[in-house]
Amino acid sequence: MFTGIVEEVGTVAALERDGERARLHIAADQVVADAAVGDSIAVSGCCLTVTELTADGFTADLMAATLHATALGTLREGDGVNLERAMRADTRFGGHLVQGHVDGVGEVVTREEQPGTVFLTVRAPRELDRYLVAKGSVTVAGISLTIVDLPEVATFRIGLIPHTLAVTTLGDIGPGDEVNLEVDVVAKYVERLVQAGVASPYLPEEVAADV
């Protein structure tokens, strides 16, 4: 589990493909300071398992499903990636609940520069539209952000302050770039419960009868 608060921007040292699989080598400092093989690190919003610690970072294996469902397969040597270690139980919860399970790949449509803020409009896969809510949370490239508004179907706009632009990869992003998206997991659970249309087995019988 993550919070969507980026700890550092790492650098892609190599992406080695082997058929439908790949090995991703990331150069990083902070996130590997206390890391061990088997730990989880979110790489631009995708939860990956550390398979090897190197002198300058870590390595993770990407299976075919990960390459197909995320934008990680388009990474090139020298690209920056947003990194976050799995959250600790005793730390502040600065963002929102992020699983690191990418729901789809979005595309940046426009970048609008305004004093003190940069607005990005992102087009999401159409099946994610029902989870996008104005003033709601969304994870973009591993970053917990608030949706400003919804200009069109399956399209949302986010505002980025100078700090976010300075400490994440979004400072260099523009129209045509792809980003990993994860919608709010709470919304997905609520949808599933509503679709089930049955009373909770955990409610007292007299309460459940009225539900």
Joined tokens for residue 190: 């609520």
Q: Is 143 or 205 the better-scoring residue by pLDDT?
A: 143
Q: DSSP characters for 97-138?
A: -B-----EEEEEEEEEEETTEEEEEEEPPGGGGGG--TT-EE
Mean pLDDT within 117-142: 97
pLDDT tens, residue by residue, 22-77: 999 999 999 999 999 999 999 999 999 999 999 999 999 999 999 999 999 999 99
Q: Is 158 or 196 the better-scoring residue by pLDDT?
A: 158
Confidence of residue 210 (pLDDT cuts 50, 70, 90): low
Q: Let me know how long the chain is.
A: 211
pLDDT tens, residue by residue, 139-172: 999 999 999 999 999 999 999 999 999 999 999 9
Q: Is 94 or 206 the better-scoring residue by pLDDT?
A: 94
Residue 194 CA to residue 97 CA, distance in Å, equals: 20
Q: Rounded mean pLDDT of the chain?
A: 94
* Number of Cβ within a 10 Å radius of residue 115: 4
Q: What pLDDT, on the 0 to 100 scale, is given for residue 199? A: 74
Q: For each of the domains in the chain, give its residue range(s) and CATH number, in order of start.
A: 8-85 (2.40.30.20), 104-194 (2.40.30.20)
pLDDT of residue 207 exceeding 70: no
pLDDT of residue 208 exceeding 90: no
% residues pLDDT > 70 (the chain): 96
Joined tokens for residue 148: 């400003």
pLDDT of residue 93 exceeding 60: yes
Joined tokens for residue 13: 């040292």
Q: What is the pTM of this model?
A: 0.91
